[in-house]
Amino acid sequence: MQRHLIGDWAARNGVAVMLVVALLVQAQAGFALRGLYADGSFFTTQIIARQSFYIFQPARWVSSLILEAPVVIALMLGEMRPHRLANVFSVSTNLLPGLGFLLCLAVAPRAERRYLTFPAFVYFAGTLAAGFASVTEGLLSTAYVWVILFLVIFGENTRPRLAAILVLSVGTLRLHEEMLFLGPVLAVALLLRARDEPRGTARIILSVAALAVLGGAAIGIWGVIFPRYAAGPGDFTADFVRLHWLYIPHQGVNLPAALGILAALGILAAIAAPRLGPAVSIAFTAAASALALAAFWIDALTAPAAQFFARDDAAFISFVLMIVVLIARGYPAIADRLTTTPVQGIVVALGFTVSLWHVSATAKWEAFESHFARQLEIETGVIPWAQIVTPPTSRQAQLAAMMVWPWTNPDLSLLVLSRRCVTSLIANPPTKGWQPYDLSNPETLPKLPGVTYAYLLPPEAQRAACAKTASPQ
């Protein structure tokens, strides 16, 4: 009897507990400044220089606003230290997508908590398969859409709930290009709920919300056809088809994405052959745990760049699972079949092993960041990237080669240390791609309040310039 009660509790609450654990792991990544990977450092310096939001892609206005709001609020409260503000940005981008998925738990009634299995799978297999590149707005956008879906299909349509549905739906007008395929699914959910709603006012609100999300889909289509920049959303599909989200030659495998595929296959097997479900769940847990542990020592199982290319995987998975949720809501027997204890056990194991991978990935990032910061401390002037990856056989050089982004080293140089007098910058690797700064001209660098650029001066002149820096550390 006691064993049955424990198993029942695990089936009802295990997914929710694992969501919280995964969120704590992402908090660790955020405080380790992992949110500065890829474009993260560039976005941070742009927000600080502008003292306001930096909306680079018009189709992502709302998601950018939410992700950047903590930094802007910190600026409004008087925090001007770039290192501290970088920490705020890193933590917010790592935490906010998971908090969005956790909101689904608050929205769903206790009796319907089994439906949390679906967004949890999206978070573990999709969002956390791109979490190393937390700056990407699509991770938050996907969670945003799931919150709307749960508000629509669960609970009584009270005035506060209807108001939340309407406001959030209007927000999808400028949420993300992903709305081009998530919007129609959400619109169907809204119209189905409106059809069953006896009150005229509620039907009107739900219908207007449906029009809003369809408008978001239209704007998403426009954002894909006419992207803000050359290597824009139109390239997302190409990267997906080339499987760069899973494997990049000479770099390695995106292990969380691979574990997501294995988990999906295990879930399908457990659904097709329920008697084998417990054995499949145990086998997946054992294999996934072994691979996640191996990632601590095998760098080919890390591949941060592959996580950047996986930035829309959560949305692609959501397109399928949102349709499944709508069908399951109409046919409870299907929901029973899709949320058995073995299925939920696989989802929990996926969350645990992917989170374990993120612990190892954060440790590697911290080792790289320490090496990067140390070079800035002991050197002056412009430090060539070749110096950071020399000798190539050293562990520090190998991690640097893994973590580098082609054009954001100067931004990262401004943020990893707590300093207002910049006496050194690390240059980008030689590349033919876009470079936002000319390091021979400090005027091209971000205008950060209170920061003095002295890296081009001789050592004696550097000391004199730094002595004049207004605010002490």
Question: Where do the structural domains in the chain lie, given as residue ranges?
Answer: 2-364, 365-467
> Does residue 13 register a pLDDT over 90?
no
Distance (Å, whole) CA 342 – CA 348: 10
What are the C-alpha distances in Å from 9 to residues 2, 17, 345, 351?
A: 11, 11, 12, 18
Which range has the worst mean pLDDT, 130-139, 217-226, 326-335? 217-226
Nearest to 79 by CA among 449, 413, 466: 449
What pLDDT is recorded for position 228? 64
Q: What is the pLDDT of residues 365-379, one digit of tens each?
A: 999 999 999 999 999
Q: Within 10 A of 272 (CB to CB), how many other CB atoms are there?
A: 11
Q: What is the pLDDT of residues 258-304, one digit of tens each?
A: 999 999 999 999 999 999 999 999 999 999 999 999 999 999 999 99
Residue 217, both tokens: 């889909």
**Structure pTM?**
0.94
Beta strands in 51-188 (DSSP E): none
Greater confidence, 156 or 385? 385
Distance (Å, whole) CA 41 – CA 35: 8
SS3 content of the chain, % helix, strand, coil (to 5): 70, 5, 25
Nearest to 452 by CA among 416, 414, 417: 414
Distance (Å, whole) CA 259 – CA 261: 5
What pLDDT is recorded for position 63? 96
* 94-116 as b/e: b if 16+ CB within 10 A: bbbbbebbbbbbebbeeeebbbb
3-class DSSP assignment, residue 373: helix
What pLDDT is recorded for position 110? 86
What are the C-alpha distances in Å from 206 to residues 145, 185, 367?
A: 15, 14, 50
Q: What is the pLDDT of residues 194-251, one digit of tens each?
A: 999 888 899 999 999 999 999 999 998 887 776 665 445 545 566 677 889 999 998 9
3-class DSSP assignment, residue 84: helix
Q: What is the pLDDT of residues 426-464, one digit of tens each?
A: 999 998 788 999 999 999 999 999 999 999 999 888 888
> Does residue 8 register a pLDDT over 70?
no
How high does pLDDT run on average in the chain? 92
Phi, psi of 267 (to 5 degrees): -65, -45
Number of C-alpha atoms within 13 angstroms, CB side, residue 335? 18
3-class DSSP assignment, residue 55: coil
**Using 50, 70 and 90 to split pLDDT, how confident is the model at 465?**
confident
> Does residue 473 register a pLDDT over 60?
no
**Using 50, 70 and 90 to split pLDDT, how confident is the model at 6?**
very low
What pLDDT is recorded for position 470? 53
Question: Does residue 58 have a cis peptide bond before it, meaning omega lies within 30 degrees of 0?
Answer: no
> Does residue 17 register a pLDDT over 60?
yes
> Does residue 2 register a pLDDT over 80?
no
Distance (Å, whole) CA 123 – CA 131: 10
